[in-house]
Amino acid sequence: MKKIGIIAKEGTNGPEKIIEGLVPWLKEKGFEPLVEAGPAKALNIQGYSRVDIAKAADLIVTLGGDGTILSVARLVCARGVPILGINMGGLGFITEAGAEQLYEAVEKGLSDTCPYEERMMLGARIKRYGELIAEYTVLNDVVVNKGSTSRIIDIEAYVNGAHISTFRADGLIASTPTGSTAYCLSAGGPVLHPAVPGIVLTPICSHSLAMRPIVLPQEAEIEIIPVTRNTEVFLTMDGQVGITLKDQDVVRITKSPYITKLLTPLKRDYFQVLREKLRWGSR
């Protein structure tokens, strides 16, 4: 029996009603639903933590937006659990279907022959005085950013040991193709198709017009070192988790050995999504 995890965005209105119908529907088809603790409590059924769902589920249905998928992707990437995103948020750029298409998408997603996309992920390792202090895997991006009251910061960047430049900017984004349509795009970076194997480095509000985004090969080993005496600097992963950096901390970014599997039962057209969600190419 396949175990189907159901994870909902916190604070979202309406997932309980959807889950209330989805749970018996899955059971009738011979699947075991594992519902996240929050909505499960509201429905008075057994609930599970996200960590426990990530460990046990064979497939996860997310009810929320892109942020929900990002948080789940980091939990399940090591096991390669496929994710089916149902949009109940705002943009929903990487979610596969809307709530009105839920049952059609889930039914097709449950098939062993359902197509999926493999999305590249990044690994980030942070060293302080040569000691590893943190390690993360991300689907969208790794961002070095100044604090709310900080001035422009200096950020040294290296690729495969070669010095690229010292960026004077509000920050620096290292993005996957998936993340190229997120913060990277807002900062003036290019859109990379998900099938393009590359990493985008994009400065945030650079002090110099000569500091432009650059696309690097996926095999690149990137080191980012903030030069920030008495300046507050943060490192954030997928815009959701992070730590405070100190002067001369080394952030090493490489392609992760893990991938995110996004189920695509409805076979959305990527360029149609660009046009509809981001108004790409609009006049």
- What's the half-sphere exposure (Cβ side, CA atoms, 13 Å) at 66? 15
The CA-atom distances, in angstroms, between 72 and each of 87, 101, 124, 221, 280 are: 14, 21, 17, 25, 27
- Among candidate residues 52, 58, 66, 247, the one labeled active-site is 66
**What type of residue is 169?**
A
- DSSP summary character for residue 181: G
Token digits for 115? 């197509």
Could you give the 3-state DSSP secondary structure of residue 56? Answer: helix
Per the annotation, the verdict on 66 as an active-site residue is yes
Q: What residue has token string 């202090």?
A: 133
Cα dihedral 141, 274, 279, 276, rounded to 10, equals -120
Q: How large is the angle between the packed helices 15-28 and 102-109, nearest 10 degrees? A: 40
Active centre residues (catalytic): 66
